[in-house]
Structure 1
Amino acid sequence: MILHELISYEHLRLIWWVLLGVLLIGFAMTDGFDLGVGALLPFVARTDVERRVAINSIGPVWEGNQVWLILGGGAIFAAWPQLYAVSFSGFYLAMFAILMALILRPVGFKYRSKIDSARWRNGWDWALFIGGFVPSLIFGVAVGNVLQGVPFRLDDTMRIFYDGTFFGLLNPFALLCGVLSVCMLLTHGAAWLEVKTEGVVRDRARSIGSVTALLTLALFVLAGVWLYYGIDGYRFTSEIVRGGASNPHAKTVALAPLAWFANYQAAPWTLIAPVLGVLGALATFIAMRARGEVSALLCSNIAIFGVIATVGVSMFPFILPSSADPNVSLTVWDSSSSHLTLFIMLVATVIFLPLILAYTAFVYRVLWGKVDAKAIESGDGHAY
């Protein structure tokens, strides 16, 4: 038996669907609080020292956290090439906006203190705000559009034709998901600041985070109700071939009311995902009001896991439905790389992912502790 045949094609596809979810959730949990702190910066910190306290809370870790975004993009490129091709071409302007915003972050970190000028530093602080707010919003808008279906077509040679426009992405449901994403990551950033800072920065972060936690809960429930009553999902109308060649044309698909809720009826244990989203957001609010620093951050992580997992569970096995031609919607079973490619990637992941997790845990352990405003003023060991 050839080595890669030890794991069936069907199981490898399922494993990589789970791993993709793990990478996306890992990005939201780690780089998510970086984005949240950046978006909160003008509101939780009013003096230069206060802003430096907030920036130094994420300064040592933000670059490492972005590894999860790179891993997620790499996994999509290698494991789901058609998903990568369609999303990065169809969402080109949105991706460009995210890229430009993310570029503002390292530039802002490095340049804000180069000139001793209040105007100069204030300008770069707003650049850091853009670098946190814009990606948080656009990521959520993208998810909202995916749930509704993306207007793309594939011809017989698998060439991609995208029929949508940038402003077409800014529809009401997608904007709701975008605001949900912003509130969720603002809450996460506030929870991080509560752990890492003291005094007025911590108190302002707690006050804002309490509000955004409740907004996250309300918007998550509202999005679910909207999806239930107002948006049709996608379902197979032909036989599902789980281990066949990757060919999105080899099936038929139709829109159907409540299709995004079928998995919960077929497997009730999957309700764990939305329940964690709701309870995690509520628990984050309670923990913040009770001044529970670490518990608020843990509950925020649970909420993020629940919200993102809910999207994946609801859509499975679809990963990018097409509103222009539902029959070419991309699914777990017909848009992956080859059996051998998925196996080689899995072997590499089994070897290197634990190393990444161990190193990340070590870094957080070494860098744990609060940022001291007095040390910031004296320039003792703080880079930003």
Structure 2
Amino acid sequence: MILHEFLSFEFLRVVWWVLLGVLLIGFALTDGFDMGVGALLPFVGKTDVERRVVINTIGPVWEGNQVWFILGGGAIFAAWPPLYAVSFSGFYLAMFAVLAALILRPVGFKYRSKRDSQRWRNNWDWALFVGGAAPALLFGVAVGNVLLGVPFHLTEDLMPMYDGTFYGKFLGLLRPFAILSGVVSLSMLLMHGAAWLTLKTEGMVQIRARNIGTVAGIVAAATYALAGVWLAFGVDGFAMVGEVVTDGPSNPLYNEVSRGGSWLAAYGERPWIAIAPLMGFAGIAMAVRGLREGHEVSTLLWSKLAITGIIASVGLTMFPFVLPSTVDPTSSLSVWDATSSHLTLFVMLVAAVIFMPLIMLYTAWVYKVLWGKVTEEEVTGSSDSVY
């Protein structure tokens, strides 16, 4: 018997759904504070030296944090081909905007200190702000659109067809609920960035970060709660109809899907998933408390818990759907019918089991080496500081 047959197709599908969530959460936990710090840069740093301190808190680690983003994209491409095809065809203008914003970050890091002109540096500081704030907002908008459903359908030969207009591929994504989701994401990552700055800086930069992070945390809690109420009463959910085949062919047209009711019906069917939003609210509350009381390590850990809970609540609420269709609900992509083959998922799992622990160990080692605060004296007096 071939080894991969010991692990059922159904089991591997769920495993890769979980792993995709882990990769997305890992990206938000690591590169999330990079984006938050970038968005906070013009507001927590009032002088050139203060802004250099802020930049040097993330300068040595942001590239390593991008690994989670690359792994997430690779996992979608290899494990969820229909999801990759539909999302990249329907969201490509929005994704281009995210990519353009992300490109500003390394360019800003490298070019900001090339000239002594204050105007030159201020312009690059605002570029770094865009490079942090825009992706944080747009990633949330994308999640909101996934919950609302996307206008696509699959042809008989499973070719994805996006039914929105050219301009609708960007402007059509800016629906009220999606914008609210973007605000949740942005405020959440601003809080996370503030928690990171509280840990890595001191003096006025730290004080400003705490003040802004406290407000951001309150906004995150309020908008997250509002999004939950809106999701319960103002957004139609999706549900599988009839007998669901969990180990059948990877054909989204194989299972019948209906639209209607509430996404939050999932909490009646699986009450244990309520742990996710509770983690989100508890994490925000404790992070805000930590920011106000001046705690450092624990504040960052609570912020991480909040992000984990908020992102997990989306996936657990939608399960088993990963991308529902508003045009043809039967074309909706789910865990049970939008994956690669049984063998492909197994081979990928073996690679993940080998390499993900190595990545996590290396990342932990890097953060251990770079542990400690970034001070103004270090930034102005050390040749190792290039930002």
Q: TM-score range by the shorter chain?
A: over 0.9
Pairwise CA distance, 1:117: 0.8
Gaps of at least 5 residues in structure 1 are none
Aligned: 1:33 with 2:33: yes
Tell me which residue corresponds to 2:212.
Answer: 208
Tell me which residue corresponds to 2:301.
Answer: 298
Taking the TM superposition and a 5 Å limit, the aligned residue runs for 1:40-189 are 40-164=40-164, 165=168, 166-189=170-193
1:131-189 deviation digits (Å, cap 9, x = unpaired): 00110011000000000100011101111211221211101000000011000000000
Whole-angstrom CA distance in 1 between matches of 2:299 and 2:179 = 27
Whole-angstrom CA distance in 2 between matches of 1:34 and 1:133 = 10
1:58-116 deviation digits (Å, cap 9, x = unpaired): 01100000000000000000000100110011001000000000000000000001111
1:243 is paired with a residue whose SS is coil
Aligned residues: CA RMSD:
0.7
Tell me which residue corresponds to 1:333.
Answer: 336
Whole-angstrom CA distance in 2 between matches of 1:5 and 1:371 = 52
Aligned length in residues: 383
Whole-angstrom CA distance in 2 between matches of 1:246 and 1:104 = 38
Pairwise CA distance, 1:237: 1.2
Tell me which residue corresponds to 2:270.
Answer: 267
Pairwise CA distance, 1:223: 0.2
What TM-score results when the alignment is normalised by the length of structure 2? 0.98
Pairwise CA distance, 1:378: 1.7
The question of whether the paired residues in 1 share the 8 Å contact of 2:196 and 2:300 is answered with: yes
Whole-angstrom CA distance in 2 between matches of 1:62 and 1:118 = 25
Gaps of at least 5 residues in structure 2 are none
Counterpart amino acid of 1:301? K
Pairwise CA distance, 1:382: 1.3
Identity of aligned residues (%): 64
Counterpart amino acid of 2:384? G
Whole-angstrom CA distance in 2 between matches of 1:368 and 1:161 = 49
1:181-227 deviation digits (Å, cap 9, x = unpaired): 00000000000000000100000000000000111111110000000
Whole-angstrom CA distance in 2 between matches of 1:38 and 1:378 = 23
Pairwise CA distance, 1:323: 0.5
Whole-angstrom CA distance in 1 between matches of 2:383 and 2:202 = 17
Counterpart amino acid of 1:340? L
Taking the TM superposition and a 5 Å limit, the aligned residue runs for 1:281-292 are 281-292=284-295
**279-288 vs 373-382, which moves further:** 373-382
The question of whether the paired residues in 1 share the 8 Å contact of 2:142 and 2:178 is answered with: yes
Whole-angstrom CA distance in 2 between matches of 1:313 and 1:44 = 36
Aligned: 1:227 with 2:224: no
Aligned: 1:316 with 2:312: no
Aligned: 1:2 with 2:6: no
Tell me which residue corresponds to 1:243.
Answer: 247
Counterpart amino acid of 2:368? R
Q: 2:367 aligns with which of 364, 369, 381?
A: 364
Whole-angstrom CA distance in 2 between matches of 1:45 and 1:2 = 59
Tell me which residue corresponds to 1:24.
Answer: 24
Pairwise CA distance, 1:266: 1.8
Pairwise CA distance, 1:13: 0.2
1:248-268 deviation digits (Å, cap 9, x = unpaired): 11121111212x123221221
Aligned: 1:194 with 2:198: yes
Counterpart amino acid of 1:271? A
Tell me which residue corresponds to 2:377.
Answer: 374
Counterpart amino acid of 1:363? V
2:258 is paired with a residue whose SS is strand
